[in-house]
Chains A and B, each alone.
Chain A
Amino acid sequence: ETGVTQTPRHLVMGMTNKKSLKCEQHLGHNAMYWYKQSAKKPLELMFVYSLEERVENNSVPSRFSPECPNSSHLFLHLHTLQPEDSALYLCASSQDSAFGEQFFGPGTRLTVL
């Protein structure tokens, strides 16, 4: 086990729904990340948090809203998503925000209808 957990593992939602993805790391790391993995595309970095402060946002649409209440928890709030947002959403953590070894969670498989 990687020490990074994600819930839910699967999520189906309509375009008008609001849902949240949760990530928790038990490794004592200071940095946490959200990635999107779509078929036939490389892993896309969405957000980076270091010591609970957002340090990077790769021009992600505002329908994705991250929240990092403490160094162990990370959320991704979703609202009015599009079918093309269907993907595997992976959370990761690392010791610091210098993008060292990334520990990934199992991911949430999101389907937007």
Chain B
Amino acid sequence: GQQVMQIPQYQHVQEGEDFTTYCNSSTTLSNIQWYKQRPGGHPVFLIQLVKSGEVKKQKRLTFQFGEAKKNSSLHITATQTTDVGTYFCASRQAGTALIFGKGTTLSVSS
């Protein structure tokens, strides 16, 4: 079935290091959304990308949507302990419901 593959599944970094998670699909995506779920919490919407090649920034977070609209990435510069959590991408392919990736769980040590 339709899937959105997300890598890596886990990532541990030292505070201050950068972090990137990738989201890939074999089919063209209508859009891509990114969510963050803190441990014990619920997913919280971060951003939505719609246009081919789109890049958006939120402070230390940079989101990209690929030119072919089949992949996306979330990059965090100089991680902090508050960045800990699981980051999910989600996308709606044409005519389908929102499909979530399995998420990348980020841990940060100080």
Contact = CB atoms under 8 A, between A and B. Distances in A.
A99 B43 contact: no
Contact of B103 (A42, A48, A58): A42
Interface of B is mostly: strand
A103 B100 contact: no
A16 interface: no
Contacts, number: 43
Contact of B48 (A43, A100, A106): A100
A53 interface: no
A84 interface: no
Interface of A is mostly: loop
A45 B64 CA distance: 25
Interface residues of A, number: 20
Interface in B25-75: 33, 35, 41-45, 48
Interface in A54-79: 56, 58
Contacts of A17: none
B42 A58 contact: no
Closest 5 interchain pairs by CB? A43-B100, A99-B98, A104-B42, A42-B100, A42-B102
Interface of A: 2, 40-43, 45, 48, 56, 58, 90, 98-107
Given A45-B97, A100-B48, A104-B42, 9 more contacts: A2-B44, A42-B99, A42-B102, A42-B103, A58-B97, A99-B98, A101-B45, A103-B45, A104-B44
